Structure 1
Amino acid sequence: MYFWDKHKTITGYYELLSAEVCNRYGLTQMEYDILMFLHNNPQHNTAAEIVKVRKSTKSHVSTSLKNLENEGLIERIQSEDNKKHIEIVLLDKAELIAGIVWMIAGVNVARLGVISYLNAESDLGRLAYSRRYL
């Protein structure tokens, strides 16, 4: 149970941080997750790789990518050699959001102390749910 307690604490804090950004920019959780995934893993820049690596469903990824493209956050670039190969590129607006996410996370982690997140009974566990630092 120790691992799952830690996992729940970290997941709860992640959801808390992402909810703030999702609300601010009108993103769903899946859209946010895909943006951050692409930002942190630029080598996995196709829908098929997102599905494979993140273990997401094709339909959720496809719908989210369409919405992100409509919002001007990503661009799909079709390969000249292989029409089925479509790379996904983050646009400046998406990079700005990713930068804000890291800034928010950095400020909050710095306030709590980097090591404290490992302890479910630490301040992080309590503060993540109280929203006192966001």
Structure 2
Amino acid sequence: MHLIIQNNMTELDRVRDALTNALQGHCDRLEINRIILAVDEALSNILEHAYPPESCETVEMSVELADARITVMLKDRGNFFDPTQMTPVNTAEEARNNHDGGLGVFLFTTLMEVSHQARPNGGNILTMSRQLSPCD
């Protein structure tokens, strides 16, 4: 599966639907929800931080299902950001703080195996993968 995602948070619904459809029959609903949460958080961070608001930039998303494993690749041309190099978040402290944000990177790096690569002409390639549990 391949999607071109516009720099707009409303695109997240389309991504969630596409992932749900792609994963049905490959794993149970809980597994699907975990994957959707991880991709949603990663993509939200890209849309919010990689590009200026209201820009016409896009994110390329490809999804591969093979050997009971999902691999999601997100490619942007935005500001460099490597989530694998972030200091681990103190979840108890973040829970006490009364502000939006702060746990997205923690969520997607906990739910998926994550790697980052800088694009040669600027931007990022974020690859997330997860072994799928068998369907019930």
Per the normalisation by structure 2, the TM-score is: 0.29
TM-score by length of 1: 0.30
More helix by share: 1
More strand by share: 2
